[in-house]
Structure 1
Amino acid sequence: MYQFQYWKEMQELKVHAYYLEFYQIECENSERLISVFLAITSSASIGAWAIWKNAAMLWGGVIAASQVLSVVHQFLPFRARIKPLGVAAIELFLLSEEAEQGWYEVSEGLLKGKEVHDKRMELRRKKSAIMKAAFPGGTIPVKSKLLDKAEEKSASYFNNYYPVN
């Protein structure tokens, strides 16, 4: 039973690391998309407005939208999450490697039940400490698509390195 719990903890740790990595990539992509939009609209809208005077209302709307977005942009939550997500993902991947290192003793039965349990609980404490340090204000939203992708990648990893006979 304790061996199974350790195995599940090790798998969940890998899923969480991949999830944070995918979430960081999504946040970076959103940041990049908004920055590109703002750069294009700020440099092209004035010129386009002068060229296509018959679409002045459209271009006026684009300029107004870009101005609002440039102000709101600094308050969007994904922007502030990029760095902590990256740091936490790296630390969780390192902890995942530590868990895999410990898996040998667990899987070979070299540890007693209490020792396996203590080893698993130590992983959980470290994971909690990593998440609390990265996100002191609480948790991050769960995005089902990213979580599914992380679970798939984790399953693929474990199937490659720990195949079932």
Structure 2
Amino acid sequence: MKIILAVASSSSIGAWALWKDYSAVWAGIIAASQVIGAITPFLPYKSRLKAYSSLINELEELMVRSEFQWHAISQGELTPTEINKARFEIRSLKQKALTKHIQTTIPTDLKRHNRAEELANQYFATFYEG
């Protein structure tokens, strides 16, 4: 982000010197890059990336654990009570991981959410359906 802002400012100054007819455009680009540079430290991207990196490791472990338990469920080795207990345990561990790593709200992009659901369903169908 900082590189893009530096390039935008520098190139706008150079363009301003060459094409003085569009000085308002170049001044606008420089002003916008300065405003973005000033507010960037206050945006939550860095903290979110750090939190998500830690969270992803715990969720990966949870996924492996879920897949291991799924085998016993799919083979009919567990009673409905044991299945419900395993399901509750996984949901509980997921919630603990989310609250441990994510202290802010998570913005939801419905299009990406639906795509993630679709990919998860494809994964499940590939590995666990007959």
TM class by shorter chain equals: 0.7 to 0.9
Identify which of 14, 28, 43 aligns with 1:47: 14
Tell me, in whole angstroms, the C-alpha distance in 2 between the residues paired with 1:79 and 1:51.
Answer: 37
Q: 1:8-23 maps to which residues of 2 (within 5 A)? A: none
Q: State the Cα distance separating 1:87 from its structure 2 match.
A: 2.3
Q: Does 1:155 align with 2:102?
A: no
* 1:74-111 superposed Cα distances (whole Å, 9 cap, x missing partner): 22233431221232223212211110101111222222
1:30 aligns to what?
Answer: none
Tell me, in whole angstroms, the C-alpha distance in 2 between the residues paired with 1:68 and 1:86.
Answer: 29
Q: Does 1:126 align with 2:93?
A: yes
Count, aligned residues = 130
Structure number with larger C-alpha Rg: 2
Whether the aligned pair in 1 keeps the contact of 2:9 and 2:29 (CA below 8 Å) is no
1:144 aligns to what?
Answer: 110
1:24 aligns to what?
Answer: none
* 1:42-97 superposed Cα distances (whole Å, 9 cap, x missing partner): 32122121111121111011100110011112222334312212322232122111
Tell me, in whole angstroms, the C-alpha distance in 2 between the residues paired with 1:42 and 1:51.
Answer: 14
2:47 aligns to what?
Answer: 80
1:98 aligns to what?
Answer: 65
SS in 2 for 1:74: helix
TM-score by length of 1: 0.71
* 1:130-149 superposed Cα distances (whole Å, 9 cap, x missing partner): 10111124x31221011011
Q: Does 1:69 align with 2:36?
A: yes
Measured on the aligned residues, the alpha-carbon RMSD in Å equals 1.7
Structure with bigger RCO (C-alpha 8 Å, 6+ apart): 1
Gaps of at least 5 residues in structure 1 are 1-33
Whether the aligned pair in 1 keeps the contact of 2:8 and 2:29 (CA below 8 Å) is yes
Whether the aligned pair in 1 keeps the contact of 2:55 and 2:98 (CA below 8 Å) is yes
TM-score by length of 2: 0.88
